[in-house]
Amino acid sequence: MATLADVAKRAGVSVGVVSRLLNGDETLRARDETKQRVRAAAAELGYTPNYAARALRKARVGVIGLAVHDASNPVYSEIIAGAQAEAAKAGYALMLSDVNALATDDEMFKRFVSGGAIDGLLLQRAGTAADSLVSKIASGQVPTVLLNDHTRGPIGSVAVDDYTAAHLAVSHLIELGHESVGLLHVDGPRSRAARRRKGWADALAAAGLDAPASRVFRGGHTADEGYRGMRELLAAPEPPTAVFAANVLAAVGALSAAHDMGVRVPDDVSLVGLHDVFVADFLQPRLTVVKLPLFELGARAVTLLLSQLNNDPARHESITAPAPVMVLRQSSTPPPSH
């Protein structure tokens, strides 16, 4: 690999000039002819800066870490895509990691957050003890921003409007004529789960309807958990005529559970999920869903993190535009008795 010194020698100048020129240093006063010569030499040698050396010198590596619980979860992949795009714009690379691995494997944690392997960290919490540990420790080492979460103090955070999304979904169901709407709710950071539940409750209340705890079932954020939650819900004494699943994967499982119990969707019970992922459009029936700007969430998170890298204070951001939208498909219709 060609080094700066190689280029300098070939161009007959010193390394300082080459470095400054190639990095676009404005204050460099050099003859045009010299610039040409240097550029030509660099091109001929196929020069590429060595990032390890640069990182060592500048104490900044140009990579931002992204720790999630399950990179294969389609919900996360849109966030990741957004983060990726924004990071690339700023010349940063993204490095994925698993939150649990980070929490469990001490070696990995040190390598990832200490040791200068990343300049900043994007973190997806999920309410477990390990999570708070990670976020606590990590924030002391590297600038951190939490994804779809809310926090004060030295850690930044950015969130989408879960409350409005839930409100929207439930209002849609109410407009269709439903009077009893169950909730398959997620665990996770209190605030996130709570916002979705409040959206559900408020929408019901606004229509003068009940939002009793007896209609709330644990849906989790996997299809398996959603399956179990829906079974419980449908086995309840007076099952609701509609269900809002606070997570798509839970909705996928819920659909499957209804089918297995001989309950037809949407004829017997309507179902709407949160987050629009491709699979929603390939289920039978196709899943009605509310779509949140997940791509933007990822993008804004890196913007915020980048500003923290420049010593701006950590802050919280809410993404209000684009607003949540209903994606009407086949799983929601008026209730049976209408």
Partner DNA sequence: GTGAAAGCGCTAACAA
Partner DNA sequence: TTGTTAGCGCTTTCAC
Binding footprint of DNA on the chain (CB under 7 A):
1, 3-5, 12-17, 19-20, 22-23, 25, 28-31, 34, 47, 49-50, 53-54, 56-59
Among 163, 200, 217, 227, binds a second copy (CB under 8 A): 227
Q: For residues 227 and 257, is the Cβ–Cβ distance under 8 A?
A: yes
Q: For residues 171 and 203, is the Cβ–Cβ distance under 8 A?
A: yes
105 binds a second copy (CB under 8 A): yes
Residues of this chain, 268-297, that bind a second copy according to CB under 8 A: 278-279, 281-284
Q: For residues 294 and 75, is the Cβ–Cβ distance under 8 A?
A: yes
Nearer of residues 237 and 262 to a second copy, judged by Cβ? 262
Nearer of residues 88 and 205 to a second copy, judged by Cβ? 88
Q: For residues 250 and 220, is the Cβ–Cβ distance under 8 A?
A: yes
Residue 107 binding: pick among a second copy, DNA, none (C-beta 5-8 Å cut-off by kind): a second copy
Nearer of residues 98 and 202 to a second copy, judged by Cβ? 98
Which residues, in sequence order, are CB contacts of 2 under 8 Å at separation 6+? Answer: 42, 45, 46, 47, 48
Nearest partner of 332 among 238, 220, 254, judged by Cα = 254
Residue 212 binding: pick among DNA, a second copy, none (C-beta 5-8 Å cut-off by kind): none
Residue 14 binding: pick among a second copy, DNA, none (C-beta 5-8 Å cut-off by kind): DNA
Q: Beta strands 63-68 and 93-98: pairing type?
A: parallel
Least distance CB 77 / a second copy (angstroms): 3
Distance CA 231, CA 217 (A): 10
Site string for a second copy, 172-211 (x = CB under 8 A): ----------------------------------------
Q: For residues 117 and 63, is the Cβ–Cβ distance under 8 A?
A: yes
Place of tokens 């996997």: 222
Distance CA 138, CA 93 (A): 19
Window contacting a second copy (CB under 8 A); options: 49-57, 197-205, 295-303, 308-316: 49-57
Which residues, in sequence order, are CB contacts of 209 under 8 Å at separation 6+? Answer: 174, 179, 180, 181
- Summarize as ranges the residues that interact with a second copy (CB under 8 A): 1, 46, 48-53, 55-56, 61, 63, 71-72, 74, 77-78, 80-81, 84, 88, 91, 93-98, 101, 105, 107-108, 110-112, 114-117, 223, 227, 252-253, 255-256, 259, 278-279, 281-284
